[in-house]
Amino acid sequence: MLRRTLLTAVAALATTTAATAGDLKIHFEYDGAVFQPPAIDVTKDAQFCGKHDLTDESLIVNPKNKGIKNVVVYVYTGRGGSDIEEVDPVNNTHTLANKNCRFDPRIVTMQAGDTLKVTNPDPVGHNANLNFLRNDAANLMVPANSFKNVQVPQPEPAPIPVECNIHPWMKAYVLVLEHPYVGVSDENGDLVIKDLPEGELSFRIWVEAADGALSTVKVNGESERWSRNKFEYEVEAGVNDMGTVTLTADQLGR
């Protein structure tokens, strides 16, 4: 009887916790003429890399709806940011592949304590140069059809670039946070951050192609002033739809 009572209490607590968590939805849209990303000049291993129609992926815009891919939004806990409860490490493993002479995915988000598995399914050798600031920097040679694991125990202050010294056009970014509250927009420009704590939170936005700080943006057609890529949002239980954030061609270096 006691065991059943305890299980019921645990289930009730889990239900209450889930009910009070909030999901934040944002759609990112490009304000400018849709463009064709420039082709990559393949200067190394052209016999293999040259057959994959590689393009510059620093800005990807959906030609159908102008949605912006790979916009990153996360809860900001730095100076002047949100004071949230400490989140225990989950020790997940995230894969960053050197695939078809490009990094896949372009953006990897991790929690401190996770492992980054750098793989190479290509028939040519690759290199992954991880320029960490707080974690040990790593410059990995990853032979064909092999992988290397990197332990990442500390959060990083910003997305960390990953480069391949062998194929200089290859680039990715790794964002390591002390919590799981982060989202990356998909090919339609849609982003969701799940299970956020309720209350006013500070968020930071990062876009690879951004030319300087995003200080003035349009949210649902209305201009807003953001401070150093940061904005505040009151999260309520359930789904919170912030709507459409529009970024201009000038802001994104186009």
**Residue-range domains of the chain with CATH:** 85-186 (2.60.40.420)
Q: What is the pLDDT of residue 212?
A: 78
User: Which is nearest to 130 in space by CA: 162, 177, 157?
Assistant: 162
List pLDDT tens digits, range 160-210. 999 999 999 999 999 999 999 999 999 999 999 999 999 999 999 999 999
Contact predicate 156/133, CB 8 Å: yes
pTM: 0.90
- Helix or strand or coil: residue 150? strand
What stretches in the chain show pLDDT beneath 70? 1-19
Q: What is the pLDDT of residue 78?
A: 92
Q: What is the pLDDT of residue 37?
A: 94
Q: What is the pLDDT of residue 16?
A: 38
Burial class of residue 238 in the structure, from the number of CB atoms within 10 Å of its CB (0-12 exposed, 13-18 middle, 19+ buried) = exposed
Q: What is the pLDDT of residue 4?
A: 46
Q: What is the pLDDT of residue 213?
A: 83
**Sole residue written with tokens 């960053």:** 96
**How do 115-120 and 93-99 pair as beta strands?**
parallel
User: Which is nearest to 193 in space by CA: 241, 246, 245?
Assistant: 241
Contact predicate 13/228, CB 8 Å: no
CA-based radius of gyration for the chain: 20
Cα maximum dimension of the chain: 71
